[in-house]
Amino acid sequence: MPGMMNRASTIVKAKINKLLNRAEDPGETLDYSYEKQLELLQNVKRGVADVVTSKKRLEMQTSTLEQSVVKLDGQARQALQAGREDLATEALQRKAVAQEQLQGLDQQVKGLEAQQEKLVASEKQLSARIEGFRSQKEVIKAQYSAAEAQVRIGEAATGIGEQMADTGLAIQRAKDKTEQMQARASAVDELVESGALEDFTSGGETDLDRELRQLATSTKVDDELAKMKAEISAADKPKEIEQ
């Protein structure tokens, strides 16, 4: 049956067969194969860690974008109340861009979560199989003659090779997904850096922020001015009466 899984397991098998032919002691071969399996398991664990890291990064971006959406919405309202429709429009446009990005990120995070679950399941399964291989190899070493052991080792090696190939495929798929996510995350970063989607939450002041602040300041000044005028005229009136 030709296929990528089978090709992979054939390669594993060929490598193991080569080993079997060279080794004089089947026990040694089994121990060596077992070490290689543990190495692969380490790779799977690293694969899981990579997926988790990518997911965290996307989640952080998501919360940044969410804050932007809330802030931009508030700013649009503020601008509209002050009669600045031009500023309100700009804020809403940016909000739309942020929302669009947010939607894409949500889907990606979900996809990555599914990938993570699958990979963790693969890791558990491989780990169980390796443990099975370990006990099987002890039995083979203890109970079989050299000739019989060769046959049994061949079977066990093919079985474990297949499991390794299947897990290898799972890692590959998770890696592809992670790379897609990273490209996406970088695209969002670039968008923020280029100013097309300014990061309003980073503390840096944008033109929109400045104009709105000026608007708020002038309103405040006007308010205070009016208040002072009222106070002064109120203070003057009793004097007039006294006079």
Partner 1 sequence: MIVRLMGEGQYRVDDSVLEELHELDDRATAAADADDEDTLDQTLEQMFELVKSKGAPLADDEVLPSDALVPPSDLTLEETKELMTDEGFIPDLPS
Q: H or E segment at 99?
A: helix 85-143
The answer to the question of residue 15 lying near partner 1 (CB under 8 A) is no
Identity of the residue, 100 or 117, whose beta carbon is nearer to partner 1 in the bound complex: 117
Three-state secondary structure along 28-55?
HHHHHHHHHHHHHHHHHHHHHHHHHHHH
Instruction: Give the closest residue to 141 by CA, choosing from 153, 132, 130.
Output: 153
| Distance separating alpha carbons of residues 82 and 74, to the nearest angstrom | 13
If one asks whether residue 236 binds partner 1 (CB under 8 A), the answer comes out as no
Nearer to partner 1, 9 or 64 (CB): 9
Instruction: Report whether 179 contacts 112 (CB < 8 A).
Output: no
> What is the nearest approach in angstroms of partner 1 to the Cβ of residue 214?
54
Instruction: Find the binding residues for partner 1 in span 159-218 (CB under 8 A).
Output: 159-160, 162-163, 166, 169-170
DSSP label at 13? H
Least CB distance to partner 1 at residue 166 (A): 6
Q: How far is the CB of 132 from partner 1 (least distance, A)?
A: 4
Rule CB under 8 A: is residue 35 a binding residue for partner 1?
no
27 binds partner 1 (CB under 8 A): no
Structural element, H or E, at residue 93: helix 85-143
In three-state secondary structure terms, 141 is helix
Which residues in 144-163 contact partner 1 (CB under 8 A)?
Answer: 155-156, 158-160, 162-163
User: Which residues sit at the interface with partner 1, rule CB under 8 A?
Assistant: 1-6, 9, 118, 121-122, 125, 128-129, 131-133, 135-136, 155-156, 158-160, 162-163, 166, 169-170
